[in-house]
């Protein structure tokens, strides 16, 4: 009997201690929540906030960015893949084909002029033949400045950078190959003779600027941009041959150089744009949502 009373006493004492501890347990447990019928559904956890560091801007940034692009541009052949070498092979084939017709095309423009290799182009042609490409750059930059369009300013800078890189390469090729111009000789095979015909810098810059114009901007008017952009390059090539300043093959290689350089610059900018995009998981009621965030500047 004494054991029975003792057991009842112990059970009652333990129950009393447990009841007295419930309020403190409730206060010490932050995850405890009142019933949903009293307060409504539990609130969703707050989505994480993504902070983006402001990208530097200004002439100093553009200068150092261009230095980085220059380094990548001149070391890019070390990383060429099969498609790049196929493009290079296509350019070599195009040069070989057009080189075969250099004399015929020059003869078409100069005819039976005296001297037989045709007149030297007037000094004014050096400026006038560069006007189409310069006008495309100036109009793009001017419109972007007037409207405050960051995309337009970026496009005009891409034009300038592509033309600069391509022209530097073209100038080095002129010095290396030394091809004489059509007004200096009747022989299109006068290589390493102190000339400066191959390739045409006018056409190189025109196609660099024109390709950026053609492949940038609103895709809904891509046909118009390409018509104007590539038309600038083709028109410049025509003027250089008409003024007896270059052989046909000079302009073909120059066009390939300008287009390839422009695509290099555009690909670099596209890579930077991807660096400013973020994929994140945002919690929603009953699960999670995959979100893509991009900073438009």
Comparing CA positions, the residue from 260, 258, 253 lying closest to residue 102 is 253
Q: Cβ(113)–Cβ(175) under 8 Å?
A: no
Q: Which of 40-44, 123-127, 210-214 has the highest mean pLDDT?
A: 210-214
Q: How far apart are CA 213 and CA 229, in angstroms?
A: 5
pLDDT at 32: 44
Q: What is the mean pLDDT of residues 86-94?
A: 96
pLDDT at 135: 97
Which residues are within 8 A (CB) of 277 and not within 5 positions of it... i.e. 6 or more apart?
Answer: 292, 293, 294, 295
pLDDT in tens, 13-53: 444 444 444 444 343 444 444 444 445 555 555 554 444 44
| Count of residues in the chain | 297
Rounded to 5 degrees, φ, ψ at 47 are -65, 150
Cis status, amide bond into 199, omega within 30 of 0:
yes
Which residues are within 8 A (CB) of 240 and not within 5 positions of it... i.e. 6 or more apart?
Answer: 129, 200, 202, 203, 246, 250, 251
- Model confidence at 100: pLDDT above 80: yes
Q: What is the mean pLDDT of residues 222-236?
A: 97
pLDDT at 144: 95
pLDDT in tens, 138-163: 999 999 999 999 999 999 999 999 99
Cis status, amide bond into 171, omega within 30 of 0:
no
pLDDT in tens, 162-197: 999 999 999 999 999 999 999 999 999 999 999 999
- Provide the pairing of β-strand 277-284 with 287-294: antiparallel
pTM for the predicted model, two decimal places: 0.73
And the tokens for 56?
Answer: 């530097």
pLDDT at 116: 73
- Model confidence at 5: pLDDT above 50: no
């Amino acid at each position: 009997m004494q054991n029975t009373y003792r057991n009842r006493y112990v059970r009652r004492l333990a129950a009393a201690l447990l009841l007295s501890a419930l309020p403190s347990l409730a206060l010490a447990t932050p995850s405890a929540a009142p019933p949903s019928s009293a307060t409504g559904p539990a609130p969703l956890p707050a989505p994480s906030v993504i902070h983006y560091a402001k990208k530097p801007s200004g002439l100093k940034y553009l200068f150092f960015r261009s230095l980085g692009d220059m380094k990548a541009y001149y070391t890019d052949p070390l990383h060429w893949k099969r498609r790049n070498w196929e493009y290079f092979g296509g350019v070599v084939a195009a040069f070989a084909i057009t080189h075969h017709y250099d004399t015929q095309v020059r003869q078409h423009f100069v005819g039976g002029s005296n001297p037989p290799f045709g007149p030297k182009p007037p000094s004014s042609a050096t400026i006038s033949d560069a006007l189409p490409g310069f006008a495309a750059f100036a109009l793009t930059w001017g419109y972007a400045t007037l409207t405050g369009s960051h995309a337009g300013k970026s496009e005009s800078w891409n034009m300038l950078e592509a033309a600069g890189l391509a022209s530097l390469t073209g100038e080095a090729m002129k010095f290396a190959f030394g091809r004489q111009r059509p007004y200096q000789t009747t022989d299109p095979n006068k290589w390493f003779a102190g000339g400066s015909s191959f390739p045409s810098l006018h056409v190189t810059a025109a196609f660099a600027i024109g390709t950026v114009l053609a492949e940038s901007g609103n895709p809904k008017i891509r046909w118009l941009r390409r018509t104007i952009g590539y038309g600038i390059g083709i028109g410049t090539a025509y003027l250089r041959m008409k003024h007896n300043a270059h052989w046909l093959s000079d302009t073909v290689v120059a066009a390939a150089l300008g287009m390839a350089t422009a695509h290099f610059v555009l690909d670099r900018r596209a890579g930077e744009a991807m660096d400013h995009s973020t994929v994140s998981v945002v919690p929603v009621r009953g699960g999670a949502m995959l979100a893509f965030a991009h900073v438009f500047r």
